[in-house]
Structure 1
Amino acid sequence: MFVFFQGETFDYIGSSRMVFDMKRGQFPIQLENVDSFVELNQVGGGTSLWVHTDPISRQNSTIEQKVQSLLESLSNATLGTNISAREPGHSQPLPPSSFHSFLRAGAIPGVVLTDHDGAFTNRYYESAYDVAENIGLKYPEGLSPEESLNYITDTARSLTDVGTVMARVLYHEAGGTDDLENITANPQMVSRMLYTFLVEQNNSWSRSILSTDAQHIMGKMDMMFYVSASLHKVNKPTVFVQHILANVTGTATNLTEEECRNADKRPEQDRDLYEFLWIQGWELENATEPKAYCLRSSVWLSKAVSPAFELKDWASTEYSTWTESRWKGFSARIFLVASRKLEIITLLTGLGVLLVSLVLIYFVNAKANVLFTSPREHSTATY
């Protein structure tokens, strides 16, 4: 199961809510069904993949045995790649990670993969400055937007190696027995994701994977990764992640647009198991518009709201009560000072209008007896 947590910098809002729902039986998977936990943290900053584990839970012999199995799988998965798996000291605690939320609920075997031993290599990790320039994402000059979209950068290659190791570990832990060297991540897919999230969100690839209902979210502004306390709408990165996962794990169907959009038109057993999206698709050559299709996937969204707000326990010491400031608009009026030249022109124009008015009034006053004399009445007029 692949999970992307939201709001983790606010004291693990996303992961703590998932564990909270698992405890109450309001999540498809229960805590006792979790075999192990593999988390990708800050990666891609080098060729060393540091494997962090929890020293406290490893004191349990059953947990230790499973952790050793994960470490062995990681070691085998790095063969033939530029990545080397290294383990820090056994006494070193876990770095900030979503795994903490699960360990609070009970002893679960797991590892946290990072590109650093003790300190972040990217100082701007998960901040407003965690942008393309600060992670070394560079493109050659002169490339068109379409060429940049498909250009495989050094950052993409590094992340592809991490993806390859991750895929091999998951395959092996799920019971796969084939040769692991045949499993490799797709560098072009990684390049397209980096370009979409960090450079230009409106491109041919992003348009092809989004549903027709989500096309309106694309714009010219940089993608905003800020996590808001508002629950009225899903932020843009979440929508993109949802559609990327749906496209790589889902299945194209032969359903019509009406069947795809209307649950009552679909088989009853599919309504609660799958999410259906009407995907715009690639723009075909010599076609006026892309060929859309219905995608069936098991990707679902769940609100990342701290359990403290669900329990209305504002003084909770277990769950986060982070919130944000109230945003209120303001207005201002700005009065500009005219230039010296415009002031002189305005003054001279005013003086000219004044002089013309004086001359005109003098002339009208002097000729008033002619201009305003009414015709004489006839002497025989009666009333």
Structure 2
Amino acid sequence: MIEQVLEIGSVGKGISQGDTLFYAHASRNSSISKKILDGLQSGSDSLGSDNVKVKPAASSNPGVPPSSLMSFMRKNTSTSGVVLEDFDSQFSNRFYHSHLDSPANINSSSIAAAAALVARSLYILATGDMTVDLMTLNTIKVNVTLVEELIGCLLTCDPGLSCGIAKSFISPSNACPSHYVGVFQDSPSSTQFPSYADDTSRFIWNFLADRTSTLASNVSSCTVKCNNESEVCVGGEVEGGGRCVVSTTRYVPAYSTRLKFEDNAWHVLPANSSDPMGAADPVWTESYWNTISLRVYAVQSTTSDRLILLAGLAVTAASYLGVVVGRAYISKITKRD
């Protein structure tokens, strides 16, 4: 059971006038939330001259900002959590989570500062009631150069996924990274090596597997899978193959709990009668086309439209004139009779 959540939200614009400031938005006023806030404050203090500050968000806020924490709270209202943001009451990056967001809207130093703050805070929280080893704590630092390189790889087309670190793990089909989430196509049991995973997903998976791994007892090369189930193949796409490492990095399928995979097919379970609108667990899908076609229509010019309009006006005027003349002629003949 998940009791507490620490989530990183929009942290790309935390630097203002030389100072780095983040805000901690707590889900509820509980002892667990206070413990997380204390951990963040201790992590901030440990950074010393780096001058990375964290403040509790204003109590007048209606709740936590839009975040994954809301899903945990919807499932269990007693879940305590904190979302770390670079704003207090309103987003500082108005393009956050949109296709208009770009490296121009973020600061790599702010992201690096947030990473250092969270890493140290998690270490402090993990020690619990034990005394924090200051020597170990001070060794927790962030590779700013790596952060800047990842921004170039994941948020730009130049170099994009043609950057050195990406090409050391995958063979990208396109330099421009795709931020499209993709469509889930397999059964839940066959998602560890999805053939439909895009370049961005495969790069992030390989990068995380490499950074969180330990070398296998018997170092061996690989292309897709490793013999040991606890091992994964990192960099299997590149020339010469990859290597097997011990890592818990996995692809996790995301699908509604109202879906059931049975008899090699997906089935939608009946809706809950107490939730007629499906608000608790909405089911959505996306069209999947085997072939995409294009139909082109020729549009006539503006001159043709104007000529048709004038012709229509002329016909209308002539019709009206004909009616007036006809009525006058008929009236004249009737009077003679």
TM-score range, shorter chain: 0.5 to 0.7
1:127-276 → structure 2 map (5 Å cutoff): 127-132=98-103, 134-135=104-105, 155-175=107-127, 176-179=132-135, 180-199=137-156, 200-208=160-168, 210=169, 215-216=170-171, 218-231=172-185, 233-253=196-216, 254-257=218-221, 261-263=225-227, 266=228, 271=229, 274-276=230-232
Note if contact 1:51-1:111 (Cα within 8 Å) is conserved in structure 2: yes
| Unmatched runs of 5 consecutive residues or more in structure 1 | 1-30, 137-154, 283-288, 336-383
Could you say which residue in structure 1 is the equivalent of 2:91?
120
Q: Deviations over 1:252-287 (max 9, x none)?
A: 334323698343xx4xxxx2xx241143699xxxxx
Q: What is the aligned length?
A: 260
CA distance in 2, matches of 1:234, 1:259: 16
State which of 24, 32, 52 in structure 2 corresponds to 1:51: 24
Could you say which residue in structure 2 is the equivalent of 1:27?
none
Over 3 Å counting, the alpha-carbon distance change for 1:301 and 1:259 in structure 2 is closer
Note if contact 1:64-1:109 (Cα within 8 Å) is conserved in structure 2: yes
Q: Deviations over 1:345-383 (max 9, x none)?
A: xxxxxxxxxxxxxxxxxxxxxxxxxxxxxxxxxxxxxxx
CA distance in 2, matches of 1:297, 1:207: 20
In the superposition, the TM-score normalised over structure 1's length comes to 0.60
The one-letter code sitting in structure 1 at the alignment partner of 2:45 is N
Could you say which residue in structure 2 is the equivalent of 1:107?
78
Over 3 Å counting, the alpha-carbon distance change for 1:325 and 1:77 in structure 2 is farther
Structure 2 residue matching 1:37: 3-state secondary structure: strand
Note if contact 2:36-2:125 (Cα within 8 Å) is conserved in structure 1: no
Structure 2 residue matching 1:52: 3-state secondary structure: strand
Note if contact 1:73-1:173 (Cα within 8 Å) is conserved in structure 2: no
Structure 1 residue matching 2:215: 3-state secondary structure: strand
Could you say which residue in structure 1 is the equivalent of 2:64?
94
In the superposition, the TM-score normalised over structure 2's length comes to 0.67
| Unmatched runs of 5 consecutive residues or more in structure 2 | 15-19, 187-195, 261-267, 272-276, 299-337
Aligned-pair Cα RMSD in Å: 3.0
Identity %: 24
- More relative contact order in 1 or in 2 (CA 8 Å, sep 6+)? 1
Over 3 Å counting, the alpha-carbon distance change for 1:94 and 1:125 in structure 2 is same
Structure 1 residue matching 2:245: 3-state secondary structure: strand
Q: Deviations over 1:103-137 (max 9, x none)?
A: 221423321001111222222211222223x425x
Could you say which residue in structure 2 is the equivalent of 1:23?
none
Q: Deviations over 1:183-228 (max 9, x none)?
A: 21111221221111022102221122x2xxxx34x13342111223
The one-letter code sitting in structure 1 at the alignment partner of 2:24 is V
Find the structure with the greater CA-based Rg. Answer: 1
Note if contact 1:252-1:295 (Cα within 8 Å) is conserved in structure 2: yes
